[in-house]
Chain A
């Protein structure tokens, strides 16, 4: 079935380090891909999205490129901040019914 696999955490980095969180997917059809972020004590919020192959989503210094050939949507940021500490979820939708399939989440800790 359709699914999302992302790297397990927690991921701990120092401030200003480069971040990559890997995400791969399995889907029938042509999904749209998302990264959601959950800050401590809050619900999820959309960070970025890409709706077709080769699209790049970006927001708040984060980027991810929809790679159909490798079925991947890796999240990257060039220089992380302490305020980026959160749980990050990779997700997909098959554009049929607004249902979203989430990965299990990756907890990110940024040390000052």
Chain B
């Protein structure tokens, strides 16, 4: 089974802090994605990556950056956390080559106070 893990289930940070959310997958998948999930808005794509050191902006990249130094790890960075970034963050992966199905981690619920 594909396993996608996220570094924390719950996280509380203060406004202005730099926040790192980590996602690790163990199935050698090519593609990795970061979403945020908010009530009434569904899932919105923040960033995605098709390969090591490659990144593409999704629909709502403002206020975020990403890093993919190794194939199995995809990090989401909030450079200066703000209260409107309080949300559930979900990481997902696909094997690549038009595999279509995305495999999700359990999510990190981030609260910025």
Contacts and interface: CB of A to CB of B under 8 A. Distances in A.
Interface of A: 32, 34, 41-46, 49, 51, 89, 93, 95-100, 102-105
Nearest to B93: A98
Contacts of B106: 41-43
A97 B99 CA distance: 9
A104 B98 contact: no
Contacts of B104: 43-45
A33 B62 CA distance: 29
Nearest to A6: B42
A98 B100 contact: yes
Chain B CB within 10 Å, residue with most, of A51, A93, A100, A103? A100
Given A46-B101, A98-B102, A99-B48, A104 B42 contact: yes
Contact size range, B: 20 to 34
Contacts, number: 51
A49 B100 contact: yes
B90 interface: yes
A44 to B, nearest CB: 5
B61 interface: no
Interface string B30-53: 010100000011110100101000
26 contacts: A32-B100, A34-B101, A42-B106, A43-B92, A43-B104, A43-B106, A44-B43, A44-B90, A44-B92, A45-B104, A46-B102, A49-B101, A89-B42, A93-B100, A95-B98, A95-B100, A96-B98, A98-B94, A98-B98, A98-B99, A99-B45, A100-B100, A103-B42, A104-B41, A105-B42, A105-B43
Interface in B78-109: 90, 92, 94, 96, 98-102, 104-107
